[in-house]
Amino acid sequence: MTFSMKAALGAACAFACMPIAAQADDDNEAGGGADALDHAPIGVMGDHRHGEGEWMVSYRLMHMDMGGVQIGTDAVSPDTVVTTVPNRFFGNPGQPPTLRIVPTSMRMDMHMVGVMYGLSDDITLMAMGNYVAKEMDHVTYQGGMGTTELGNFRTAPDGFGDTKVGALIGLVDDVHLNLGVSIPTGSIEETGEALTPMGMTVPVRLPYPMQLGSGTWDLEPGITWRGQSDTWGWGAQARATIRLGENSADYSLGDRFMATAWLAYSLDQSVAISGRIEAETVGAVDGIDAQIAGPVQTANPDFHGGERVSAIAGVNFAVPRGPLSGWRLGVEAGMPLVQDLNGPQMPTDYTLTIGLQKAF
Ligand SMILES: [Cu+2]
């Protein structure tokens, strides 16, 4: 776990105590102010609209942890990968017939800063920028065949990711359209140093999952349904990411389709717990970056995308009154239930999202 995650978890624990203190002061005060059920679990984007003239700023940290290798739904060992999976670059100078480098684990921290503004009661505008830090560890096998490990290396790019702007268009009270565009502000030319099977350390352009942006303008349409009673909240959302054309390196990342549904229960006006299911399907990389090549699964455009269903548990805190009125904090932790990957590819172990929001 990174330092920033520890700090964020510390903040979450400190925050968790405040609603209790606030409640003790105002036991019998009914209604008024924020309700923890008013927002969806923190990992759901564009879930709520704002009233005319209302602003909201937010910060989210999304951490993802991945490890191992999977082909379809089957786990496979690195030894199997380097002796059985063909290297699509075989035939080029110095390229062995099978893969010889295997990613063993990956971590990503995405820091997202967002602004929302209620243009009218029906239309909310939103914008989000983000900063991404990625880390991938690899094992390199010696020479062109066999299962002798030569050594390990890590690549760790960081920088600004793609920027999203959009609008939520209310159709009726409980349903709105999500209209979004992703602007390619993130780099697709990140480099690192790789250990080759011949024992040399060479600078390379990093494979697709280690780049910071898509390089393409993307459309992000969606639809969201949300409802609540005094003690229950519920909702569902479907969203897509559709790549428009190819980027400057002659490829586009796979389109993504996501559907999620959640149920939340209010323990108190200021605290709600939630359970959520999310299903997603992502396409393989289309095209190829001529500068990304090597005996490693991540350099092959075919070994990306797949299907995933995840279970996600969360808690939302809202401060209904007092000096911190209008502040919200949400935490969500998710684990895949099923992953069917265009592999060999690295499966996700877990995700953790922590977010702070303030409306005014
Ligand atoms: Cu908002």
Cα(115) to ligand 1 centroid in Å equals 8
CATH number assigned to the domain comprising residue 227: 2.40.160.40
Cα(85) to ligand 1 centroid in Å equals 47
**Average pLDDT for residues 147-161, to the nearest whole number?**
98
**pLDDT at residue 21 in the model:** 36
Cα(50) to ligand 1 centroid in Å equals 6
Going by pLDDT thresholds of 50, 70 and 90, the confidence category of residue 33 is low
Give 25 or 39, the one with higher predicted confidence.
39
**pLDDT at residue 322 in the model:** 86
**pLDDT at residue 70 in the model:** 97
Cα(119) to ligand 1 centroid in Å equals 12
What gap in Å lies between CA 339 and CA 301, rounded to an integer? 19
Is it the case that residue 341 has pLDDT exceeding 80?
yes
Cα(162) to ligand 1 centroid in Å equals 20
Structural domain of residue 117, as residue ranges?
3-359
Report whether 165 contacts 192 (CB < 8 A).
no
pLDDT digits (tens, 9 = 90+) for 68-107: 999 999 999 999 999 999 999 999 998 999 999 999 999 9
Cα(67) to ligand 1 centroid in Å equals 34
Q: Mean pLDDT for the chain?
A: 92
Is it the case that residue 291 has pLDDT exceeding 60?
yes
**Average pLDDT for residues 276-298, to the nearest whole number?**
98
Give the chain's length: 360
**pLDDT at residue 320 in the model:** 84
pTM here is: 0.88
Is it the case that residue 289 has pLDDT exceeding 80?
yes
Is it the case that residue 354 has pLDDT exceeding 50?
yes
**pLDDT at residue 323 in the model:** 86
Contacting residues for 119 by C-beta, under 8 A, at least 6 apart: 52, 125, 167
Residue the block writes with tokens 């080759």: 196
- Please give the C-alpha separations between residue 94 and each of 100, 143, 208, in angstroms, as whole numbers: 12, 10, 21
Is it the case that residue 57 has pLDDT exceeding 90?
yes
Is it the case that residue 152 has pLDDT exceeding 50?
yes
Is it the case that residue 281 has pLDDT exceeding 80?
yes
Going by pLDDT thresholds of 50, 70 and 90, the confidence category of residue 26 is very low
Cα(87) to ligand 1 centroid in Å equals 47
pLDDT digits (tens, 9 = 90+) for 157-176: 999 999 999 999 999 989 99
Contacting residues for 136 by C-beta, under 8 A, at least 6 apart: 103, 105, 106, 154, 155, 156, 209, 210, 298
Cα(169) to ligand 1 centroid in Å equals 14
Percent of the chain scoring above 70 in pLDDT: 91
Q: How many domains does the chain have?
A: 1
pLDDT digits (tens, 9 = 90+) for 246-270: 999 999 999 999 999 999 999 999 9
Cα(158) to ligand 1 centroid in Å equals 27
Is it the case that residue 309 has pLDDT exceeding 80?
yes
Choice among 22-26, 62-66, 112-116, 345-349 with the minimum mean pLDDT: 22-26
Going by pLDDT thresholds of 50, 70 and 90, the confidence category of residue 211 is very high
Cα(47) to ligand 1 centroid in Å equals 8
What gap in Å lies between CA 78 and CA 167, rounded to an integer? 45
Percent of the chain scoring above 90 in pLDDT: 87
Cα(353) to ligand 1 centroid in Å equals 16
Cα(170) to ligand 1 centroid in Å equals 14
Give 176 or 18, the one with higher predicted confidence.
176
